[in-house]
Amino acid sequence: MKLILASASPRRRAILRAAGISFSVDPSDIEENIRGSNPRRLVVKLARMKALDVAKRHPGQPVLGADTIVVCAGEMLGKPKNLRDAIRMITLQSGRTQRVYTGTALAAGGRVYTEVAVTRVYARRLDSDRLRRLAGKHMDKAGA
């Protein structure tokens, strides 16, 4: 039985490959701009929704959903809406410590198992040229 990854994220695919896990990819179609004030609960809720959405298309197979949110200076940062938003996010994080919340949900055997990992990350101060270069490369990542 092969794991189904409910994400198009290249990073999530790389993590599973590095762990030697056999999987296929079927990204979820859920709307990701759900609001909430608690990042820990929000990433679990979104990961769970993604896993259950894809599990409907793959009955009997284990499905892994995941979601990440960055919190910096009291602001929750998801994926940027455009390049300007990405530059704003990276500027906000420059020279600061932020928390990265990743929620995972495994839908298997009629149950859903969830977990949250919280990582503190320090981003060194960046000049404006470096900020722009980074923003263009990170449009598909939470917190840019």
Which amino acids are annotated catalytic? 67
CA 113 – CA 25 distance, rounded (Å): 19
Question: What's the Rg (C-alpha) of the chain?
Answer: 16
Contact 46, 102 (CB under 8 A): no
CA distances for 34 relative to 49, 92, 122, 127, angstroms: 11, 22, 26, 32
CA 20 – CA 14 distance, rounded (Å): 10
Q: Provide the residue type at 54 as one letter.
A: V
Hey, what are 56's tokens?
């409907």
Hey, what are 23's tokens?
């999987």
